[in-house]
Amino acid sequence: MRLRTLALIAALALVALVAATITIWTLSSPPTATTPAPSETAPPPPASSTRSYDPDAGDVASGENDGAPAEVQEAAWGPVADRFARNFTNTTGGAPAWRQRLIGNPASPDVTTDISDQLKTIAVSNVPAGHYTGRQLVKSSAYEVAVKVTYREGWAMVLYLIADGTRFQVYAYDRWEA
């Protein structure tokens, strides 16, 4: 072989070796974090009046519906609103049982810490009788909803839910005045 051909083969082999090394290095390196665009960042954490019952809650941006309107996230907030509305009028077992039903699972509570504390001050004898019949979304954003819940007896209340970090929780409720 001629010297020129040998030099060309050596150069091609060197380029192939460098390309293989870069490819292997790139595939074995951990991915670098990217900074999201300003429009994709999560909102600031809720005010202290709506702090989570679970202070170690993570980031709400953990699902495919992240940042989506609340109507799209109904699977996340709907069951919480339904449980709270249904259990609100169920005072069987006295105040401790009533509070526990409203709070839900302590590992994944349906209410914020403030609501949990407030429930301790309510006399269950003052809770109106009612049979939950349904809900209607009144106001929503990506991280908050207001839901009107109605009762067969003709009265209603509004539940205010907020995403605390990993789930929606009731942070306020009030009797609906039409």
Helix (H) / strand (E) containing 14: helix 3-28
The pLDDT value given to residue 142: 80
What does CATH list as the number for 61-175?
3.10.450
The pLDDT value given to residue 32: 39
* Count of Cβ atoms closer than 10 Å to residue 117 Cβ: 11
The pLDDT value given to residue 113: 93
Cα angle 58-60-62, degrees, rounded to a multiple of 5: 95
Say if residue 20's pLDDT is above 60.
no
* Count of Cβ atoms closer than 10 Å to residue 21 Cβ: 10
pLDDT band at 7 (very low <50, low <70, confident <90, very high): low
Tokens coding 3: 């010297």
The pLDDT value given to residue 16: 60
Q: Is this prediction's pTM over 0.95?
A: no
Query: From the centroid of its chain, how far is CA 104?
Result: 16
Say if residue 28's pLDDT is above 70.
no
Closest listed residue to residue 173, CA positions, set 125, 107, 108, 128: 128
The pLDDT value given to residue 24: 60
Closest listed residue to residue 132, CA positions, set 107, 110, 102: 102
pLDDT one-digit tens code per residue, 42-61: 333 333 333 333 434 333 43
In this structure, are residues 158 and 98 in contact, taking their beta carbons and an 8 Å threshold? no
pLDDT one-digit tens code per residue, 146-178: 999 999 999 999 999 998 667 999 999 999 876
DSSP string, 75-99: HHHHHHHHHHHHHHT--TTHHHHHH
Strands 168-175 and 144-151: unpaired
In this structure, are residues 144 and 161 in contact, taking their beta carbons and an 8 Å threshold? yes
Which range has the worst mean pLDDT, 23-37, 48-62, 108-122, 152-166?
48-62
- When mean pLDDT is compared over 37-46, 61-70, 134-143, the highest value belongs to 134-143
pLDDT one-digit tens code per residue, 58-107: 334 344 455 566 666 888 899 999 999 999 999 999 999 999 999 999 99
